[in-house]
C-alpha cells in the first residue's frame, strides 16, 4: 500500500488536495459546509459523511506520503 503512495508525485497530490478542498467553488466549498455541519452536530446523513471523507482523501494521502511513505 505504501508503495502506491510513494509513486504518486507531490505536485499531483498538492493540486488534488487544493482542488478537492475548494470544490465546488460556488456557492461555498463542501469542506466549509461539512465542517460547519460537524460543529453544529447536523452532519448525520451518510451521504454528507461520505462527501466529507471524499473531499479530505487527497489531503490524507498527502499527509501519509509526507509522514510515512518517504521515510
pLDDT in tens, 6-61: 899 999 999 999 999 988 888 888 889 899 999 999 999 999 899 999 999 999 99
Domain hosting 53: range is: 26-71
Question: In terms of residues, how long is the chain?
Answer: 71
Q: Establish if 44 belongs to a structural domain.
A: yes
Q: Is residue 38 included in any domain, yes or no?
A: yes
In this structure, is residue 64 part of a structural domain?
Answer: yes
Distance CA 29, CA 38 (A): 14
Q: How far apart are CA 38 and CA 40, in angstroms?
A: 5
**Domain assignment present for 14:** no
Q: Specify the pLDDT at position 70.
A: 58
Is the residue at 12 inside a domain? Answer: no
HSE-up of 43 (CA within 13 Å, CB side)? 17
Number of structural domains the chain divides into: 1
Whether 71 has a pLDDT exceeding 70, the answer reads no
Question: Domain for residue 13, yes or no?
Answer: no
Amino acid at each position: 500500500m505504501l508503495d502506491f503512495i510513494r509513486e504518486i508525485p507531490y505536485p499531483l497530490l498538492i493540486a488534488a488536495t487544493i482542488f478537492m478542498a475548494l470544490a465546488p467553488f460556488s456557492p461555498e466549498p463542501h469542506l466549509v459546509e461539512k465542517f460547519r455541519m460537524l460543529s453544529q452536530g447536523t452532519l448525520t446523513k451518510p451521504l454528507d459523511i461520505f462527501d466529507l471523507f471524499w473531499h479530505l482523501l487527497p489531503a490524507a494521502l498527502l499527509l501519509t506520503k509526507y509522514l510515512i511513505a518517504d521515510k
